Structure 1
C-alpha cells in the first residue's frame, strides 16, 4: 500500500465555489462512475486497456474507492499485450523471403507494411498480458491529487482516465515559488540555507548548463569537496536525496516529483501495531490513512521549503 513514488497535482476550484462539487463528487456517485469505467479483460484484438480496479482487489468486494477523513484511494489497472518487435520482424522476414523466393520478385515497402499489420493482428491474441496497478490518493479537503507513478506520462494517463470518468477534471502539476533545481543547488552550496528540519541524503544528480551531460552520485558525502568543486563549475542539482526529521526520506526531482519514498520506522511500526483484527481490508485502510496523513504534513513542509505554492492557472 505504501507509495514508492509521488507525482503531485493541484485541483482547481477553491472550496465553496461552483467547481468544488465537480472536482470532488459525492462518494457514492464517484464509486458508480468508477465502476462504469472499470477495467475489463482484454479482447483478442486489444493491445492495451486502462480502467479502474478495486484498491483491495478481491478483498474489496468490488469497492472502487475508499475514503477516510477526506482522503480517497483509487486504483487504475493497465493491461497490455507484450508482443516484442523482434518477434514480428522475424515472422515478417520469413514471409517476405517466402514471397520473393516463390514469386521471383522484390516485396515492396507498401506490401511489407501491410504484412506487418497482418502479422501483428494474428500474433496479438497469443501475446502475454502484463497488468500493472497504479494507486491514486485524492485529498478532497486540500484539493490535491498524488499518483504513485514513476513517470509523468503514466500519471497523465491516470488523470485522463479520471477526467473521462468524471466528465471534467481541471488539474495542473503542483508548482512552487522557488524552482526545485534552484533550491536544491542553493541547499548544497550553502548549508546555512537548509531548513532546520531537513536532512541531507547521500544521492545527487548534477546537470551542467551546457552540453557536458549529467553526473550522478550515490552514497557520497554531499558536503564533501568533490561535490562542492562540481557546483563551482556551474552545475545545478536536478535530483537530491532528502529527509524530513526521520519521518520520510525521498529523492526530490527538478519537476517536484518525489521518488524512492521511504517512510519512517515510527510510522511503519504504528501501522504494524494497529488493531486490524487480521482483517486485510481494514489493514489496507489503516495503512492508507496513516500514509495520507503523514504525506499531507510532509508535503506542506516541502512546499514551505520551496517558498510556498504558486497560484497556477487552471487549464481551459
Structure 2
C-alpha cells in the first residue's frame, strides 16, 4: 500500500461529494477488459481488489484512496514493421512495381488491427490519495504524464475538476542547490541523503551520483562551477525520505521504521482489508503532516489560478 512516488496537486473549489456519491460517479468509468481492437484503456478499479468487495473508494478520517487500472496491449513497432515489409516485398515482386507511401500507411494500419487481438496485455494499477481536508491530491505514478492521465479520468468522472500542480515560492532547484552548498541553510529537521543530480547551465550535460557524501569537496566544487541540484535525496527526521525533483515530484519514497512498525503492530486481526486501510491512513497522515512542512521550507505555496476545466 505504501506509495513509491508522488505527484502533488492543489484542488480548487473541489466538489463536496460523499464517498457513496463519489463511488457512484467512478462506477460509470470503471475498468473493463480490453476489446480486441483496443490498444489501451483506463478505468477505476477497487484499491483492495477482490478482498474489498469491489469497493472503489476507501475514506478514513478525511483521506480517500482511489485506484485506476491502466491496460495496454504490447505490440512492438518492430513486429509491425516486419509484417509490413514482408507484405510490401511480396506485392513489389508479384506486381513488378514500387509500393507507394500511402499504401504502406494503409498496410501498417491493417497489420496493427490484425495483430492487436493477439498482443499481450500489460496492466498497471495507479493509486490516488485525496486529502479532502487539506484540499490536495497525490498520485502514485512514476511519471507526470501518467499522473495527468489519472486526473483526466477523475475530471471525466466528476464532470469537472479544478486542480493545479502544487508549486512553491522558491523553485525546488534553487532551494536544493542552496541546501547542498550551505549546511547552515538547511532546516533543522532536514537531512541530506546520498543521491544527487546536478545540471549545468550550459551544454555540459547532467551528472548523477549515488551513494556519495553530498558534503564532500567534489560536490562543492561542482556547485562552485555553476551546477545546480535538479534532484536531491533528503530525509525528514527519519520519518520520511525521498528524492525531491525540480518539478516538486517526490520519488523513491521510503517511510520511517517507526511508522512501518506501528502498521505492523496494528490490531487488524489478520484481515487483509483492515491492513490495507491501516497502512493507508498512517501513510496519509504522515504525508499530510510532512508535505506542508516541505512547502514551508520552500518559501510557502504559490497560489495559482486553475485553467477552466
Fold agreement, TM-score > 0.5 = yes
- 1:274 Cα deviation (Å)? 0.6
Q: Could you tell me how far 1:311 is from its partner in structure 2?
A: 1.2
1:180 CA drift (Å)? 0.4
Q: 1:17 maps to what in 2?
A: none
Please tell me whether residue 30 in structure 1 is matched to residue 22 in structure 2: yes
Mapped pair 1:111 → 2:98: no
Question: How far did 1:261 drift?
Answer: 0.3
**Other-structure match for 2:260:** 268
Q: Distance in 2 between matches of 1:177 and 1:105?
A: 64
Give the whole-Å Cα distance in 2 for the aligned partners of 1:188 and 1:81. Answer: 43
Q: CA deviation at 1:275?
A: 0.7
Show the counterpart of 1:16. none
Instruction: Find the counterpart in structure 2 of residue 54 from structure 1.
Output: 46
Query: Residue 269 of structure 1: SS of its match in structure 2?
Result: helix
The Cα of 1:60 is off from its aligned counterpart by: 1.1
Structure 2 match to 1:143: 135
1:129 corresponds to: 121
The counterpart of 1:157, out of the listed 145, 149, 157, is: 149
Q: Superposition pairs for residues 194-233 of structure 1, below 5 Å?
A: 194-233=186-225
Q: Does 1:84 align with 2:79?
A: no
The answer to whether structure 1 residue 296 and structure 2 residue 284 are counterparts is no
SS of equivalent residue, structure 1 residue 129? strand
State the shift of 1:315 in Å: 1.7
- Partner of 1:313: helix, strand, or coil? coil
Aligned length: 308
Q: What are the superposed Cα offsets for residues 7-58 of structure 1, whole Å, 9 maximum, x if unpaired?
A: 0000012xxxxxx4x2x41111100011111000000100000000000011
Q: Deviations over 1:82-115 (max 9, x none)?
A: 0000110111111111111111111111111101
Which residue of 2 is the match for residue 5 of structure 1? 5
Residue equivalent to 2:34: 42
Structure 1 stretches lacking a partner, 5+ long: 14-19
Q: Which runs of 4+ in 1 moved over 4 A?
A: none
| Aligned mates of 2:54, 2:178 — CA distance in 1 | 49
